[in-house]
Structure 1
Amino acid sequence: MEIRIGILNSPREIGFETSQPASEIEQAVKTALETDAKLLALKDDKGTSYLIPTAGIGYVELGTEESRRIGFVG
């Protein structure tokens, strides 16, 4: 699944692929924001860790859990 996170006052966003289910990512984001945690910690498929300050999160976009099709669509 593709995840995109918009950062306040930044023209760029953080984007990466993860195999974690959308419900798990959504719950991690909600918990971090509701408990006033300083950081949101996520990992991608390659093992890279992302520590995002919760105060700077503008939005979190969760893509579909479907795998992408390769080739031409008719």
Structure 2
Amino acid sequence: MQVRIGIAQSPRELELELAEESDQAAVAQAVDAAIEAGTGVLWLEDRRGRRIGVPVERIAFVELGPDRNQRSVGFRA
């Protein structure tokens, strides 16, 4: 699953690819819980097992999407 996080006052976004077995609802719930807590860090683990932390007060947006490999390519008629 692909996650894109916008960082406040930063022109770049953080893009992560989580493990294939990651549940979109569980990740959304973790983001919600971290934001509701107000202070602290949102921790996510990427496909390679690395842990990435984002300060909650700097999160501008979070976009959850399918894995890049699962996207369809081509044109539909």
**How does the TM-score come out when normalised to structure 1?**
0.85
Moved over 6 A (4+): none
Give the gaps of 5 or more residues in structure 1. none
Q: Determine the structure 1 residue equivalent to 2:45.
A: 43
1:1-74 matches, within 5 Å, as: 1-19=1-19, 20-64=22-66, 67-68=69-70, 73=74
Unaligned runs of 5+ in 2: none
How many residues are matched?
A: 73
- Identity level (%): 36
Give the TM-score of the pair, scaled to structure 2. 0.82
- CA drift of 1:35 comes to 1.6
Over aligned residue pairs, what C-alpha RMSD do you find?
2.0
Whose helix proportion is higher, 1 or 2? 2
Contact 1:22 1:65 in 2 (8 A): no
How far off its partner does 1:44 sit? 0.5
